[in-house]
C-alpha cells in the first residue's frame, strides 16, 4: 500500500510486436493532502540483467493533494513477453523515497500473415 | 512521360524513364520496388513486355523468378529484379512494360509503363548475293 504516491494504473497495450515502440502511461495519485513532488520510474523484466529501463521524458511533477498525475513513457518491445514494473517516489526531507510498485505484462504479438501492398518498376536496362 | 517517384532528401523526386533499345539475344532487366509486412514467404516476381490496350495487357514476352521476402514486422520497401529474355518471338517496334507479384490473380500489380521498350529488328545472318570484277590493273 502506498504511503503518498499511489500507482493507480498502468495504461499499456496488451501485446506488441518485437522492435515496435511501446507507449505507456503511469497514473499516480497523490494521497497526501498537500502538494508534494512525485517521481516515476520503470523497468522491463524479460530475462536479461540488469533490467532495461523505461524512458520517461518527464519523470517527476509537483502534484496537488488528491490529484492523479499521468506520466508518459516508452520502450522498445523485446523479442519476448515483458513484465513492466512501474515505481513511484515522493519527495520529502530533501530526498526521494520509494513508495509503490505496479507490474503489468505485455505479450509478444504474432507477426501477421504476409501482405504486399504495392509494386512499381523503378528501372529497366538491357543486359 | 513515364517515370517513377522516389523519396529523396529534397522531397519526392520524379525520375523520368526513357525508352531502352533491345534486340533478340538481349535480356531486359526489370527492377521493381514493392512494400511488404508480415511473415516471410516465397513469391514470384513477374514482368512482361507487350501492348497495353482497352482489353488489358497483351503479353508477348515475359520473365519470372522466385524471390524470398523476409519477415517484416512493419511496412518495408524492398527491391528485386527479374530478367526478360528477348527472343525473335517479338517483332521490331515500341512496347509497354509491367510487373506483378504472383500468379494469374496477382497480389500486387504495377502501373504500366507505356512505350518504354524499343525492340530493334534482328540483323540477318551473313549472306552474299553476287560478285563481279570492278577493275583490273598491273601492280
Residue A51 lies in a domain: yes
Q: What is the CATH number of the domain that holds A48?
A: 2.60.40.10
Residue A31 lies in a domain: yes
Residue A50 lies in a domain: yes
Whether A57 shows a pLDDT value over 60: the answer reads yes
Residue A23 lies in a domain: yes
Q: How confident is the model at residue A12 (pLDDT cuts 50, 70, 90)?
A: very high
pLDDT, one tens digit per residue, over B3-60 is 656 666 556 665 656 789 999 999 999 999 999 998 899 999 999 999 999 889 999 9
- CB contacts < 8 A, A to B, total 106
Top pLDDT among B110 and B124 is at B110
d(CA A119, CA B18): 19
Residue A38 lies in a domain: yes
Q: What is the mean pLDDT of residues B74-93?
A: 93
Cell of B138: 598491273
Cell of A14: 496488451
d(CA B10, CA B12): 7
Grid cell 545472318 — which residue?
A: B125
d(CA B27, CA B86): 6
Which of B43, B111, B116 is nearest residue A124 as measured by Cβ atoms? B116
Q: Which domain holds residue A75?
A: 5-108
| Cβ within 8 Å of residue A114, ≥6 positions away | B36, B37, B38, B39, B40, B41, B69
d(CA A53, CA A85): 9
Grid cell 523476409 — which residue?
A: B70
CATH number of the domain at B19-119, out of 2.60.40, 3.30.110, 1.10.10, 3.40.462? 2.60.40
Tell me what pLDDT residue B18 has: 74
Task: Single out the residue of A65, A7, A14 nearest to residue A40, CA to CA.
Answer: A7
Structurally, chain A folds into a number of domains equal to: 1
Whether B139 shows a pLDDT value over 90: the answer reads no
Return the residue in A115, A118, A121, A123 with the most chain B beta carbons within 10 A, the one to mutate for interface testing. A121
Residue A82 lies in a domain: yes
Amino acid at each position: 500500500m502506498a504511503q503518498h504516491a499511489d500507482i493507480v494504473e498502468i495504461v499499456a497495450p496488451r501485446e506488441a510486436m518485437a522492435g515496435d515502440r511501446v507507449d505507456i502511461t503511469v497514473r499516480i495519485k497523490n494521497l497526501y493532502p498537500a502538494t508534494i513532488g512525485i517521481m516515476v520510474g520503470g523497468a522491463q523484466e524479460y530475462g536479461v540483467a540488469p533490467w532495461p529501463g523505461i524512458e520517461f521524458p518527464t519523470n517527476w511533477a509537483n502534484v496537488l493533494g488528491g490529484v492523479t498525475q499521468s506520466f508518459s513513457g516508452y520502450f522498445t518491445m523485446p523479442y519476448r513477453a515483458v513484465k513492466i514494473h512501474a515505481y513511484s517516489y515522493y519527495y520529502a526531507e530533501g530526498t526521494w523515497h520509494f513508495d509503490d510498485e505496479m507490474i503489468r505484462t505485455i505479450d509478444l504479438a504474432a507477426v501477421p500473415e504476409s501482405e504486399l501492398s504495392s509494386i512499381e518498376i523503378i528501372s529497366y536496362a538491357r543486359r | 512521360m513515364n517515370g517513377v517517384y522516389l523519396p529523396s532528401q529534397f522531397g519526392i523526386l520524379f525520375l523520368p524513364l526513357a525508352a531502352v533499345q533491345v534486340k533478340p539475344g538481349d535480356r531486359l532487366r526489370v527492377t521493381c520496388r514493392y512494400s511488404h509486412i508480415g511473415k516471410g514467404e516465397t513469391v514470384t516476381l513477374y514482368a512482361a513486355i507487350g501492348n497495353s490496350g482497352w482489353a488489358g495487357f497483351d503479353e508477348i514476352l515475359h520473365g519470372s523468378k522466385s524471390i524470398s521476402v523476409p519477415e517484416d514486422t512493419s511496412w518495408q520497401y524492398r527491391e528485386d529484379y527479374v530478367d526478360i529474355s528477348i527472343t525473335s518471338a517479338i517483332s521490331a517496334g515500341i512496347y509497354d512494360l509491367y510487373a506483378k507479384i504472383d500468379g494469374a490473380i496477382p497480389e500486387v500489380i504495377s502501373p504500366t509503363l507505356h512505350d518504354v521498350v524499343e525492340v530493334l529488328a534482328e540483323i540477318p545472318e551473313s549472306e552474299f548475293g553476287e560478285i563481279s570484277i570492278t577493275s583490273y590493273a598491273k601492280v
